[in-house]
Structure formats: structure tokens, C-alpha cells
């Protein structure tokens, strides 16, 4: 399985990472190698195997509908790179 | 011996008898750091100001014994940055559950955090935003990763004991490279609340210590059910120090034949074989076993772990915390923040993980990997139905040189080959020092057990340790 | 009509749990920005989710009320996309193993029931709120993490009115179960619509348009009505329709195209490793089912059948669970054979009193027993119907018993023949024209004369007896 540059660009967009052209080149080579190695998985017949999306045999973990102490406004906004009043602030969103 | 050279259990005795104090121990750690930290660089952001004393709960049994914490475990008010630029300046408004537990028991959190590969992506601690940590046994070599800072600090007595995290071997492999003890508990044994996630179905926090007794104590302190972690298991925590019996007579130990393959360093092979003989001489019954799907572990891991990581790291976007790039629009802010804030390995893994989950590739990659994970787990279940534990090398080589593998990601990934299956199966495993190469680099022996059977690990590890002297040796720094 | 309208509705419902889906922060509406937050709902690094038991219970109850099949093994999946109101840049939702599937809801189209399929009801979490300014957008995370249910209908609705009816039916069931405020203005119920047109008889669906930004049920209906018009016009002109998303502008009464987005979204769903699977056993489902209240549509049909009500009357009584329970309790406690006597009082005078006082019918429940007594007094002619209505009003105001009020107000009905004849004589003398009309065969005249007697006796005369006496007198 190969991964072409267009696909990498598309994937980088999905992941919201801007790649420089030299990064794109390098990544292309590296991913090609890694995916080639990963391809050995296709040798296995897994038709009858259940996927292990959870490794622990536990289920139905729930919590009661009871309130806890929320964060103070100070603490919530303390690390914010940009804020305005009680809000987190981000640059304008252009659809 | 200086205070910082002692083990935790030795210091706890001194603290109890008031022969020593938290402050005195702290002072000896700082003195040691002044001498060797510029060379070892076990800590992140170590230009930070020294504090003369640490707060701790007076009535706790730990009596202010300092503990070093990896930079991906949330410590309230202290910088927790996963050694990444993108989390620059982040001070969590809360403590991880393990930190709460340590504090409840009177532990003192060391104010500097241990260096690590950024977001735990790595096997050498070369991917830290703050530069690599150097192996105390040979400063030209890596300490292993991603908990390389924790391992190096313990090995060089810049820490009494430490916490690390293990997703594919990140506690055990650096323990092996640095000649210390490192344990990855069973998945679900220790709460992940407050551990900045890499791969949610694989991550566990665990101890890095100077000997097995310390590991047993520390594991007991951090384990236990946490209602804030849905993947935390509600089982009682045994007193692991009771497992330090020194007796492994008739214990059935399996040696996986797939682990002794080409690419394994011949010196490491010999040292491991000698260690296995030692166990035999101590009364264990040794037999070969098979873990047939071993060769698929690394590819499975690199799909599952990167897929989960790509989603876990999506939150690092400059909106609420950390680094934010200058940008006029939201989308530019996202793209530039993440381009500038993440290192190369992080980007590589995020792209790979996003790809594995993307439309059209999910079945072939992610879903398939989940199925093979089942097969890998079944391999272990079969062996443990007949054996008490499995013994294997921790790493195919001893510590490699800094820079040697940095340009070859695949080669770097393959150094995890013996540790990764353990995380995929969710079982516990420990690495203990079992020898040195001719070049003077430590080699680690790995012991694996079935889920929630850490007791066997401590029992075997302690017995081996008490009948050898490897744990008593220290680097010549 | 050449074209068939095909509509599917997607409703997002906030559950009325006290706390959020995955953490213990309050779900209270209207609080100061970023005051109901914690590391979990803010998606801080290291935080982990744990699902709300009450939310799961409410969800199962609602799914059962919609006749859905409950999935025995269900799980959460991550829906990955970037947006500032989504702190983790993924939403915890459900993809391939949703909580429930294959349900339905009946609406009434011209008196006949029509079954609308419900494809699925699944669990997810709400996002935060954005306030857009010129150069920046501001984020408030109070709403992040509030538990949501997504209810998706099959494209079985064929008109804007049907869509409206579907929503009102949905809302009444939700209210009966008390699992949500259902308030579109507060945002606890949101609705998006998918609409397409096709030639009657065509098997394939037409090009789909997604409609958003409707803030009321009427808005949904109006938006869909507009779309039917718009799309019909385009189709008549043989213009191709493009699959797109349009926003409803309530002020202008039009839908407006959103700027077209790039391709289909790739959410990269995968099972959320931070949450366990949920195994919902048959026995648990059965138990929850037995605890469900009688649902509005069933109750409506039963009221019609058991109490001989018209659909119109029954709908009034069944309008809310509380009203229905109160009405039923009145009807059941009423000792008379003919329950309609009580029903008439409920939908007539009592409803009128409730409306005047701007309260719900059931809020007058304290006077139930006295109401029953009052009706008894009317039946045995101790008081006239008209007087009784006054007494009812005073019953509610004073809390006194009916008997007290009747005796105290001297409101007893006059049935004494001599007394009545006196008044009747007076009325006959004063209303010669009506008397002649009556003799000429106009039955209205009798009613008029009786009315005059009632007036002269301050409503206390027994109208039935008066009627008989007048007929005798003028015979």
C-alpha cells in the first residue's frame, strides 16, 4: 500500500496541520516505508475474529446524576491564550 | 552513602525514625542535580527555581519523600507540557488521580518534571522539545524512551523514585537501558485520569525505581479503582510487598521462542540466557512457549496507537491552552499552531493515525488491527493457562547512540518489539537489570504475567534481584 | 400535484438530567458563561468521561416509547472534526451500534393514523455556544457535554403539516416521560429537516436539501412550505437541484443557501476507548417498559372509547400527562353512571376557570371532591346549572365546600311550584309577543320565556320545571 502526496495533503487537512513542501516529501517517503511494513497484516485471515476495541472485560460503567464542584472561572480561563471577559476568544471563523 | 543514593524503602525508615527529613533528602537531590544535570538532562525546563522545601501532608506515611513525575502527568499548578511546544506554559487546574493518591499518603511532588519524548512518541527521549536526555551509563547514548527522563533520574540518583507511563514499552525499555526497575501495571489497574493521553486503550502509569521493593511499594500506592476513569477496574489492591518472598520454587516460566530472532544483539542474547539459567537454578521450571502472532505486534500497535493518538491530540489547537500561532482566521490558527507546535514524530504519527481511520481505509487498517489484537491477546491467554509467567528480553539491544536511529522511524519502532505485545494484551510486565554489555551498558530482563497478577512479577523479580548484584551498581557520574 | 414531497426530520433533544453526560457539571440554563465547566467537559488534557446513568435510563425509556428495538450491545464512538465549540475536537456520539433502532410514531392525517418510521435514537453530547463578533468569535462551554439524544425519522413525512404533526406528537410523548424541557427557544429541542421532491410514483428519491436554523415548530413548517414552493418552481423550469444545506430566515420567510462546503465530511468514527461497552439486557428493558406511563396516543384512544368522548374533547383532557391524570381521576371518582356528566364539567366550566386564571387544568385538583358534590347537586336539582357555575368559581377561590357555598349564598334552586308560578305569571304578562310566538308554534319562544324567568329569579329557578309549568299554563 502506497500513500501518494495528494492523500497526505488531504489527511493533513483533516488533521489541521500545515505541512511544508519539504515535510511533505519526507513524510511521503517515511509513510511509504511504514505502510509497507504494516501491510504484512493483510497476510492474516481475520474473518472469524472479533475486534478488540476494548481489552478489559468490563461493561456498563456509569455515574450517578449527582453534581460536583465545577471549576472557578479563573481556573477555567487561566491557560487561555486569548480571552475576552468570561469567554475564550478565537480568530474569526470563515466557512 | 548520600541520602539521594538510597532507595525509597531505606529513606522511609530514616524518615520514620526522624533520622532524616524531607528537606534533607530534597537538598541532596538538588546537590546531585547541580553536579550532573547539565550532562544528563533528565529534567525538562530545569532552569526553574529551586524550592527549599516541599509541601506534603504531615500525617501521610511517606513523610514528604520526594517523587519525580513524568511531564505528561497532570500536577496542579506545576507546568505539565508533555515536553511539547504546543503545551507551552500549561499548568493544569487539577491533579491526576495518582498524584492525589501520593499526596494523600504524604508524598512530596518534585517541582521539576521528568523529560520525555514529546507526547510519549518515541523510544529514546530524543523527541523532547527540550532536547534529549543522556544515559547516565554512557552520556553518548540514549536513556530509552519515552520515560527516559524518569529512568535516567532514578539511575543517576537525581530522583529517589519516579513515575513514568507505558504505552508500548515506555517504562520498561528505558528501565532496561538505564539499569533500573520499571513496571507497567495491568491495563485498568492504575487510573489514567490526569495522564495526558497518547493511546487510550494502551496507556498505563507505572513506577521506575532502584529496586523491586520500591516498585512494589509505589505500585501499591498508585493502584486502585477510580470512579473518574471508566476504564479503571474495581478490584482490591493487594499489598504487593507481601509478594517479596524470595521463593520461586517450581514456578512455571515460559520463554517465547519468537523473541529470540535475528536482529537481536548477540551480547543481549547471552546475558538473557544467563539470567534465565539463574532463574532455573533458583528452582523455576523453564520451558519454551510460542506466541505465534508476535511478528504482527508492531504493525498492529502502530495502527491502533497512532489512530487513538490522532484523535487524542486533536484538542491541541491553540483555543484553550498552550501555544497559539498568530493567525487571522480560525483555520489558519489551527493549521499553524499544530504545524509549529508539534515536533516531527508527533506529526508523523498524527498523519498516520488519521490516515488509518479515514474513509476507505478504516476496514483495511484500523478494524483489521483490532482483530489481530484479539489474536495477540489469545496467544498470551493460552500460555498463561499453563504457565505462571513469561520471561523475555526487554529490548533486542542495549542503549544505542544518540542520533543513531533518529532518522529512521521504522528502525526506531522496531526497538519496541518485545514490549509492545504486553500493552496490546493489557497484561502487566516488569523490567529488571540483569547484566551489562562489554561496553558497560545495562541489559534488562522482562517478566510478564496474566492480568492483575502483578504479585508474580514482584515475586520473580525480587527473587532474581536478591540473588544477584545488578541493582547495586551505579553509573560513574 | 405532480411532485411528491419527501421529508425526514432529525431532532436533537437535550435530556433534563441534573448534570452533564460525562461529568458532574450542572446543566442549568442561562448561567454566566464558562461557569458550569470542569476539566472533563472542557476537554482538558488528561480528563476522562464517565456516562450519566440517568441519561441512559431516560434514553431507553424514550426509545421504548417510540417503539424502538433496544440494542443489546451498544457503545460510544468518536466523531472527529475541528470546531471551537467542541473542546476535544471530537464529539462522543454513536455510529454503528446506536442505542436503538427501527421505531415509529403515529400521526393523524385527516383522521387516519399514519405511521412514521424512526430510524434510530442514539446518545451523544452537546457542543458549546459561539458568539460571533467582527474579528473574533467567543466561546462559552457551559453547554458542552449536556446529554443529547438524536432522533432520526425515516423520510416518511409527505407534507410540511405532517412534519409539524410529527413534532407535536414527539413533544407530547417526551413531555409525558418528562425526559426533556422540549423548549425550542432554550435550545433543548433542535430540529433539522431533509427535504426532496420527486415525481409521484418514482422510486428514487430526489436531490436532498438540508434545512437548518428553524427555531420553532411553526418555523419548521414554514421553512418546509417555502422549500416545496422553491423546489417545485425549479423542477418545473427543468433546472437541476444541487444537494446543499440551506438556512431558514424566519424574518424574511425564505431559505438561503449556505456557502457550499467541500465534499462529504469524513468523521473517522471509531469506538471510544475511554468508555466501556454497554450491555442492556432484555430483562432490564422489559422492566423499564413496565414502568412507562400510558402514552398520550394510547390514552387518547382509550378516553374516546371508555368515556365516549369525541376526539376533540379527548385531546383537550389528554393534552398533558398531568391534565390527563387529573381528568381521569375525576372521571373515575365520579359516582354517576354517565361519565359524560363529569367530562362536560371538565372541558366546559372547569377548563374555562383554568384559562381565566391562566393555570393548567390539573392545578385545580384540590377541588375535585367538591366538584363531584356540585355536579351531584345539579343532578338532583338542588341548584341550577347556571348557579353551579358561579359556585365553582367560588369553590376555587375560597376552598369552602359546595354545600356551604350554596346554603351560604342562598343559591338553592327554586323548584317550588307556587313560587315559580308567580314569577311565570309576571313574565307572561311582560312578554306578550313571545307568548303569541310560542302559541304559534315557535319553540325558541319557550326558551326565551324560560330565560326571562331565570333572569327574574336571579338564576335560581329550576329551568326544567319552569319549562314544564309554562307549557302547562299556555296550553
Question: Between chains, do B200 and C274 touch, taking CB under 8 Å as contact?
Answer: yes
B333: pLDDT strictly greater than 70 = yes
Which residues, numbered 107 to 146 in chain C, qualify as contacts with chain A under a Cβ-Cβ cut-off of 8 Å?
130-141
Flag whether residue B347 sits within 8 Å of chain A, measured between CB atoms. Answer: yes
pLDDT band at C111; cut points 50, 70, 90: confident
Q: Is there a catalytic annotation at residue B20?
A: no
Average pLDDT over residues C11-18: 98
C387: pLDDT strictly greater than 90 = no
For C17, the closest chain A residue by CA position comes to A65
Looking at per-residue pLDDT, the higher value among C376 and C220 belongs to C220
| Residue A8 confidence (pLDDT) | 95
Which residues, numbered 370 to 409 in chain C, qualify as contacts with chain A under a Cβ-Cβ cut-off of 8 Å?
none
Which residues, numbered 67 to 86 in chain C, qualify as contacts with chain A under a Cβ-Cβ cut-off of 8 Å?
75, 82, 84
Question: Between chains, do C46 and B90 touch, taking CB under 8 Å as contact?
Answer: no
pLDDT band at B18; cut points 50, 70, 90: very high
- Chains contacting A (3 or more CB pairs within 8 Å): B, C
Q: For C139, which of A70, A71, A88 is closest by C-beta distance?
A: A88
Mind listing the pLDDT tens digit for each residue in B213-261? 999 999 999 999 999 999 999 999 999 999 999 999 999 999 999 998 7
| Residue B49 confidence (pLDDT) | 60
Q: Which residue among B146, B165, B415, B421 is the active-site one? A: B146
Instruction: Please calculate the CA angle C97-C98-C100 and round it to the nearest 5 degrees.
Output: 120
Question: Between chains, do C46 and B193 touch, taking CB under 8 Å as contact?
Answer: yes
**Chain C environment of B231 (Cβ under 8 Å):** 48, 273-274, 276
| Residue C189 confidence (pLDDT) | 96
Mind listing the pLDDT tens digit for each residue in C440-460? 888 888 889 888 988 888 877
DSSP letters along C82-131, please?
--TT-TTSEEEE--SS-SEEEEEEEEEETTEEEEEEEEEEEEEE---EEE
Q: Is there a catalytic annotation at residue B70?
A: yes
Q: Which residue among B170, B223, B232, B398 is the active-site one? A: B170
pLDDT band at C21; cut points 50, 70, 90: very high
Distance from CA of C254 to the nearest CA of B (A): 29
ipTM comes to: 0.96
Cα(A91)–Cα(B333) distance, integer angstroms = 7
Q: B473: closest CA among B443, B446, B431, B447? A: B443
Flag whether residue B407 sits within 8 Å of chain A, measured between CB atoms. Answer: no
Flag whether residue A38 sits within 8 Å of chain C, measured between CB atoms. Answer: no
C259: pLDDT strictly greater than 70 = no
Cα(C173)–Cα(C296) distance, integer angstroms = 6
Phi, psi of B75 (to 5 degrees): -125, 115
Phi, psi of C433 (to 5 degrees): -60, -45
C233: pLDDT strictly greater than 80 = yes
C411: pLDDT strictly greater than 80 = no
Average pLDDT over residues B202-208: 98
Instruction: Please calculate the CA angle C200-C206-C211 and round it to the nearest 5 degrees.
Output: 120
- How do strand B66-70 and strand B108-114 relate by DSSP bridges? parallel
C-alpha cell of residue B111:
517541582
**Residue B207 pairs with which residues in a beta bridge?**
B163
Q: Is there a catalytic annotation at residue B146?
A: yes
- CA B94, B99, B105, B110 torsion: positive or negative? negative
Question: Between chains, do B371 and A15 touch, taking CB under 8 Å as contact?
Answer: no
- CA C456, C461, C462, C465 torsion: positive or negative? negative
Average pLDDT over residues C111-116: 90
Looking at per-residue pLDDT, the higher value among B415 and B131 belongs to B131
Q: b/e map of B127-164 (b: 16 or more CB within 10 Å)?
A: bbbbebbbbbbbbebbbbbbbbbbbbbbbbbbbbbbbb
| Residue C166 confidence (pLDDT) | 96
What is the pTM (predicted TM-score) of this model? 0.91
Mind listing the pLDDT tens digit for each residue in B26-58? 999 999 999 999 999 999 998 766 676 788 998
| Residue C416 confidence (pLDDT) | 78
Question: Between chains, do B74 and C46 touch, taking CB under 8 Å as contact?
Answer: yes
**Chain A environment of C136 (Cβ under 8 Å):** 82, 84, 89-92
| Residue B48 confidence (pLDDT) | 64
Flag whether residue B442 sits within 8 Å of chain A, measured between CB atoms. Answer: no
Amino acid at each position: 500500500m502506497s500513500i501518494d502526496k495528494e492523500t497526505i495533503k488531504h489527511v493533513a487537512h483533516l488533521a489541521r496541520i500545515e505541512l511544508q513542501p519539504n515535510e511533505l516529501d519526507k513524510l511521503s517517503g517515511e509513510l511509504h516505508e511504514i505502510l509497507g511494513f504494516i501491510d504484512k497484516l493483510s497476510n492474516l485471515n481475520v474473518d472469524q475474529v472479533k475486534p478488540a476495541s476494548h481489552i478489559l472485560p468490563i461493561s456498563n460503567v456509569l455515574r450517578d446524576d449527582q453534581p460536583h464542584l465545577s471549576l472557578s472561572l479563573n481556573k477555567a480561563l487561566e491557560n487561555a491564550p486569548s480571552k475576552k471577559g468570561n469567554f475564550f476568544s478565537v480568530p474569526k471563523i470563515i466557512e | 552513602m548520600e541520602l539521594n543514593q538510597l532507595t525509597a524503602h531505606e529513606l522511609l525508615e530514616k524518615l520514620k525514625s526522624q533520622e532524616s527529613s524531607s528537606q534533607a533528602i530534597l537538598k541532596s537531590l538538588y546537590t546531585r542535580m547541580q553536579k550532573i544535570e547539565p550532562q544528563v538532562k533528565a529534567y525538562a525546563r530545569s532552569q526553574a527555581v529551586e524550592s527549599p522545601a516541599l509541601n506534603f501532608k504531615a500525617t501521610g506515611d511517606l513523610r514528604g519523600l520526594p517523587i519525580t513525575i513524568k511531564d505528561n502527568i497532570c500536577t496542579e499548578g506545576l507546568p505539565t507540557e508533555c515536553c511539547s511546544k504546543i503545551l507551552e506554559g500549561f499548568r493544569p487546574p487539577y491533579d491526576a488521580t495518582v498524584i492525589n493518591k501520593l499526596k494523600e499518603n504524604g508524598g512530596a511532588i518534585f517541582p521539576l518534571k521528568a523529560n520525555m519524548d514529546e507526547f510519549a512518541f518515541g523510544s529514546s527521549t530524543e523527541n523532547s522539545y527540550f532536547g534529549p536526555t543522556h544515559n547516565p551509563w554512557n552520556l553518548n547514548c540514549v536513556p530509552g524512551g519515552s520515560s527516559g527522563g524518569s529512568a535516567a533520574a532514578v539511575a543517576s540518583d537525581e530522583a529517589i523514585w519516579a513515575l513514568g507511563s507505558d504505552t508500548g514499552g515506555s517504562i520498561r525499555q528505558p528501565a532496561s537501558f538505564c539499569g533500573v526497575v520499571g513496571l507497567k501495571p495491568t491495563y485498568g489497574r492504575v487510573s489514567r485520569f490526569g495522564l495526558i493521553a497518547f493511546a487510550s486503550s494502551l496507556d498505563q502509569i507505572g513506577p521506575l525505581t532502584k529496586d523491586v521493593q520500591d516498585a512494589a511499594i509505589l505500585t501499591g500506592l498508585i493502584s486502585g479503582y477510580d470512579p473518574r476513569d471508566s476504564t479503571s477496574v474495581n478490584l482490591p489492591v493487594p499489598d504487593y510487598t507481601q509478594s517479596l518472598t524470595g521463593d520461586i520454587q517450581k514456578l512455571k516460566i515460559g520463554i517465547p521462542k519468537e523473541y529470540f530472532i535475528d536482529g537481536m544483539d548477540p551480547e543481549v542474547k547471552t546475558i538473557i540466557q544467563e539470567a534465565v539459567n539463574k532463574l532455573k537454578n533458583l528452582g523455576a521450571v523453564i520451558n519454551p512457549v510460542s506466541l505465534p502472532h508476535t511478528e504482527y505486534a508492531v504493525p498492529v500497535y502502530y495502527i491502533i496507537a497512532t489512530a487513538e493518538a490522532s484523535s487524542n491530540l486533536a484538542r491541541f489547537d491553540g483555543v484553550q491552552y498552550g501555544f497559539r500561532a498568530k493567525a487571522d482566521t480560525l483555520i489558519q490558527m489551527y493549521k499553524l499552531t499544530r504545524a509549529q507546535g508539534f515536533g516531527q514524530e508527533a506529526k508523523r504519527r498524527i498523519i498516520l493515525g488519521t490516515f488509518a481511520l479515514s474513509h476507505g481505509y478504516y476496514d483495511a487498517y484500523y478494524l483489521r488491527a483490532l482483530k489481530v489484537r484479539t489474536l495477540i491477546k489469545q496467544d498470551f491467554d493460552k500460555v498463561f493457562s499453563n504457565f505462571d509467567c513469561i520471561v523475555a528480553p526487554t529490548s533486542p539491544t542495549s542503549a544505542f547512540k544518540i542520533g543513531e536511529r533518529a532518522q529512521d522511524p521504522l528502525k526506531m519502532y522496531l526497538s519496541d518489539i518485545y514490549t509492545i505485545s504486553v500493552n496490546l494484551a493489557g497484561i502487566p510486565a516488569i523490567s529488571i537489570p540483569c547484566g551489562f554489555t562489554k561496553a558497560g551498558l545495562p541489559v534488562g530482563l522482562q517478566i510478564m504475567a496474566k492480568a492483575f497478577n502483578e504479585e508474580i512479577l514482584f515475586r520473580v523479580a525480587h527473587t532474581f534481584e536478591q540473588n544477584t548484584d545488578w541493582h547495586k551498581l551505579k553509573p560513574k557520574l | 400535484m405532480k411532485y411528491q414531497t419527501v421529508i425526514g426530520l432529525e431532532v436533537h433533544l437535550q435530556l433534563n438530567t441534573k448534570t452533564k453526560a460525562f461529568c458532574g457539571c450542572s446543566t442549568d440554563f442561562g448561567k454566566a458563561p464558562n461557569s458550569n465547566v470542569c476539566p472533563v467537559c472542557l476537554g482538558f488534557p488528561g480528563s476522562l468521561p464517565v456516562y450519566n446513568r440517568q441519561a441512559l435510563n431516560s434514553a431507553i425509556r424514550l426509545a421504548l416509547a417510540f417503539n424502538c428495538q433496544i440494542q443489546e450491545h451498544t457503545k460510544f464512538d468518536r466523531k472527529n472534526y475541528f470546531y471551537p465549540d467542541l473542546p476535544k475536537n471530537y464529539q462522543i456520539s454513536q455510529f454503528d451500534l446506536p442505542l436503538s433502532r427501527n421505531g415509529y410514531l403515529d400521526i393523524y392525517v385527516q383522521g387516519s393514523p399514519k405511521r412514521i418510521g424512526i430510524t434510530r435514537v442514539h446518545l451523544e453530547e452537546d457542543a458549546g455556544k459561539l458568539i460571533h463578533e467582527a474579528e473574533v468569535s467567543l466561546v462559552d462551554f457551559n453547554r458542552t457535554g449536556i446529554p443529547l439524544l438524536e432522533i432520526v425519522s425515516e423520510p416518511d413525512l409527505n407534507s410540511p403539516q405532517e412534519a409539524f404533526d410529527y413534532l407535536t406528537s414527539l413533544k407530547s410523548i417526551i413531555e409525558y416521560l418528562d425526559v426533556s424541557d422540549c423548549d425550542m427557544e432554550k435550545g433543548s429541542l433542535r430540529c433539522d429537516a431533509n427535504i426532496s421532491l420527486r415525481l409521484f410514483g418514482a422510486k428514487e428519491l430526489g436531490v436532498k436539501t438540508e434545512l437548518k436554523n428553524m427555531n420553532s415548530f411553526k418555523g419548521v413548517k414554514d421553512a418546509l412550505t417555502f422549500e416545496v414552493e422553491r423546489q417545485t418552481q425549479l423542477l418545473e423550469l427543468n433546472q437541476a437541484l444541487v444537494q446543499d444545506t440551506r438556512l431558514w430566515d424566519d424574518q424574511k420567510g425564505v431559505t438561503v443557501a449556505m456557502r457550499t462546503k467541500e465534499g462529504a465530511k469524513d468523521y473517522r468514527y471509531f469506538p471510544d476507548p475511554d468508555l466501556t461497552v454497554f450491555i442492556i439486557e432484555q430483562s432490564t428493558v422489559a422492566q423499564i417498559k413496565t414502568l412507562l406511563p400510558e402514552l398520550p396516543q394510547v390514552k387518547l384512544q382509550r378516553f374516546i372509547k371508555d368515556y365516549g368522548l369525541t376526539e376533540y374533547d379527548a385531546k383537550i383532557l389528554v393534552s398533558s400527562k398531568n391534565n390527563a391524570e387529573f381528568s381521569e381521576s375525576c372521571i373515575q371518582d365520579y359516582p354517576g353512571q354517565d361519565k359524560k356528566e363529569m367530562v362536560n364539567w371538565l372541558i366546559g366550566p372547569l377548563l374555562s376557570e383554568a384559562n381565566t386564571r391562566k393555570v393548567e387544568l390539573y392545578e385545580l385538583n384540590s377541588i375535585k371532591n367538591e366538584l363531584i358534590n356540585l355536579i351531584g347537586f345539579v343532578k338532583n336539582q338542588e341548584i341550577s346549572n347556571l348557579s353551579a357555575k358561579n359556585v365553582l368559581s367560588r369553590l376555587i377561590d375560597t376552598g369552602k365546600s359546595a354545600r356551604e357555598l350554596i346554603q351560604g349564598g342562598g343559591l338553592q334552586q327554586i323548584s317550588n311550584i307556587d313560587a315559580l308560578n308567580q314569577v311565570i305569571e309576571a313574565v307572561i304578562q311582560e312578554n306578550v309577543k313571545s307568548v303569541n310566538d310560542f302559541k304559534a308554534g315557535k319553540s325558541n319562544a319557550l326558551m326565551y320565556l324560560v330565560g326571562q324567568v331565570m333572569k327574574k329569579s336571579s338564576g335560581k329557578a329550576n329551568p326544567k320545571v319552569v319549562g314544564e309549568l309554562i307549557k302547562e299554563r299556555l296550553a
